[in-house]
Amino acid sequence: MLRRSALAALAALSVTAASAHSVWIETVEGKLVVRFGEVGVEHEKSPGHLDKLSLPEAKNAKGEKIESEKASDHFLLKDAKPAEPAVIFTMFPVMERPATDTKPASARWPQFYARWQVAGAEVKPVSILDIVPAKEGGKATVYFKEKPLAGVEVVQILPDGKEKYLTTGEDGTVTFKAEGKGLHALRVAGYSEEAAGTHEGVKYTVISHNSSLAWNQD
């Protein structure tokens, strides 16, 4: 019984980690790295929840592959340059939730997309769920399967960790003010798509799409 309780607690922690966390790109010692956690607050390590993520698939602005490598508290994007845009994709194992008095059982497969942006770069949507910044700054468009996504919540995260909540318009765009020096980010969390399938031998009924956009401001 104790072992079952421990396993249940571990599973609950995994569900909480994936549900509350983001995946984003930032710079560390002049290198681009992929983090998993809460932007500006904390990030996961290995051994730990970082190990749950698949090795990120990364590309530069030309669509060329960037090799990634796991470290103790991030994934390093080898040969990627902070002065150039980059995008990545990674995923978490299927999360199964038992039925409760108010909710039926569910099985969600979290997938994460992250984009690194540099000032003045013109980019196009490439990820299934993508936050694409305007070249002039202060504006971004959320796309789902290359179509603008209206009425979705976008969280703006400032360098001090404070958050602002925005909602995309009919054209999928949000406008914002990026105030302060340091790491800025936008994220869209838990956009659900009903889709039945199997991943690593576990069945899922929903794919949970999560996306982030990050950049440094001097």
Residues 6+ apart with CB under 8 A from 50: 36, 43, 44, 70, 73, 74
Task: Categorize the per-residue pLDDT at 18 as very low, low, confident or very high, splitting at 50, 70 and 90.
Answer: low
Rounded to a whole number, what is the distance in angstroms from the first to the last CA of the chain? 55
pLDDT 10s digits, 57-82: 999 999 999 999 999 999 999 999 99
Single out the residue of 153, 149, 140 nearest to residue 214, CA to CA. Answer: 140
Query: Domain extents for the chain?
Result: 2-217
- pTM assigned to the model: 0.89
Residues 6+ apart with CB under 8 A from 27: 33, 82, 216
pLDDT at 19: 53
Task: Categorize the per-residue pLDDT at 55 as very low, low, confident or very high, splitting at 50, 70 and 90.
Answer: very high
Among the residue ranges 17-26, 108-117, 174-183, the one predicted with the least confidence is 17-26
pLDDT at 64: 96
Structure tokens at 53: 């993520």
Q: Are 129 and 112 in contact (CB under 8 A)?
A: no
pLDDT 10s digits, 200-215: 999 999 999 999 999 9
Higher pLDDT, residue 18 or 70: 70
Q: Are 191 and 152 in contact (CB under 8 A)?
A: yes
pLDDT at 14: 44
Q: Are 113 and 144 in contact (CB under 8 A)?
A: no
* 13 has pLDDT over 70: no
Alpha-carbon span 68 to 161, nearest angstrom: 27
- Buried b / exposed e across 160-174, counting CB within 10 Å, b at 16+? eeeeeebebeeebbb
User: Which pairs count as long-range contacts for 162-168, CB under 8 Å and 24+ apart, including other chains?
Assistant: 168/141, 168/142
* 3 has pLDDT over 70: no
Q: Is 111 exposed, middle or buried (0-12, 13-18, 19+ CB in 10 A)?
A: buried
pLDDT at 151: 98
Q: Are 107 and 124 in contact (CB under 8 A)?
A: no
pLDDT at 184: 97
- Rounded to the nearest integer, the mean pLDDT of the chain is 91
